[in-house]
Structure 1
């Protein structure tokens, strides 16, 4: 039989051994956790937008030289953007269309900024299959409604870039934009 001293010494040794084993387990799990985080960090980091995309997050466009009835095409986030200065007749024509006749009902006021209803800013991408509609350049086919015409499948948009005929399901999209001065629009 073991003496009391031997029993206590064995308990101390077992307790010391248990603490050492716990420390080794905790250290191993911590090391694995840090290693896993280091391995995952590059994978998560690669999902962040690149510097060239961040640089295109917003653009400023000077619209002072766009006369009524004219439009320009610019690029934002690698997509074409149409900026059109509507004539008073085009504004009146867009307002005269009953919303019940539209496939994607939106008024001109919903597609423009208050006090700037003559300035129409839209993405220049047909909502059917992503072609770039005609109607920005001088002499281009604007379709039967005087807005934009997609040559790929025949979608026709009116002066407010609302779908009027053809396979496109929705109006041309209006991106986030604001007028930062009377002649400068910031898109994005």
Structure 2
């Protein structure tokens, strides 16, 4: 009498290849791979949205010709859509800034810390008050320079000295000094 042999192989093992990979495993790997590629394709545009726009990248640095700025004068320029003050300090302004003890300042910094070595007469700061972001006065001819001869913020009355340090009013910090370097005796690159 002939006996029927029952197959002990399940549906998954019946389709195994020589390497032992089942069809179900292959389909799982393919589905996960497809989903991963889809997720990357969906997220990539979102990640690029977080980068800086092209107009900001174009303004990553700016060159300023300082040859026409006389001692005691200042100019206002734009860098990254923010005003920047470039001031050529007089010897008297440098002396007044150095005479102020840093221990008496709210945000203690010396003039030497805020300028480049050998270029102590060139003060370069962002023209944005550290209180609420107004643009202080003091670069134009006849503008109010405040009680300390530097800059005056008309919005809430912050007074900065000749080194751009906060001396009176609600601003918590000195005017910010951006990254800059002198690329020639008459050109400074900001940024």
- Normalising by structure 1, we get a TM-score of 0.94
C-alpha displacement at 1:13, in angstroms? 5.8
Return the alpha-carbon distance in structure 1 between the equivalents of residues 57 and 157 of structure 2: 35
Q: Runs ≥4 in structure 1, deviation > 3 angstroms?
A: none
Aligned with residue 146 of structure 1, among 141, 145, 149: 149
The change in CA–CA distance for 1:24 and 1:66 in structure 2 (over 3 A counts) is same
Return the alpha-carbon distance in structure 2 between the equivalents of residues 34 and 80 of structure 1: 44
C-alpha displacement at 1:49, in angstroms? 1.2
Structure 2 contact 86–125 (Cα < 8 Å) conserved: yes
Structure 2 contact 12–23 (Cα < 8 Å) conserved: no
Gaps of 5+ in 1: none
Is 1:55 the counterpart of 2:58? The answer is: yes
- Which residue in the other structure is 2:4 paired with? 2
SS of the aligned residue for 2:32 comes to: helix
SS of the aligned residue for 1:11 comes to: coil
Name the count of aligned residue pairs. 184
The change in CA–CA distance for 1:134 and 1:17 in structure 2 (over 3 A counts) is same
Quote the RMSD (CA, aligned, Å): 1.4
C-alpha displacement at 1:16, in angstroms? 3.8
Is 1:122 the counterpart of 2:125? The answer is: yes
- Which residue in the other structure is 2:180 paired with? 177
Return the alpha-carbon distance in structure 2 between the equivalents of residues 16 and 162 of structure 1: 81
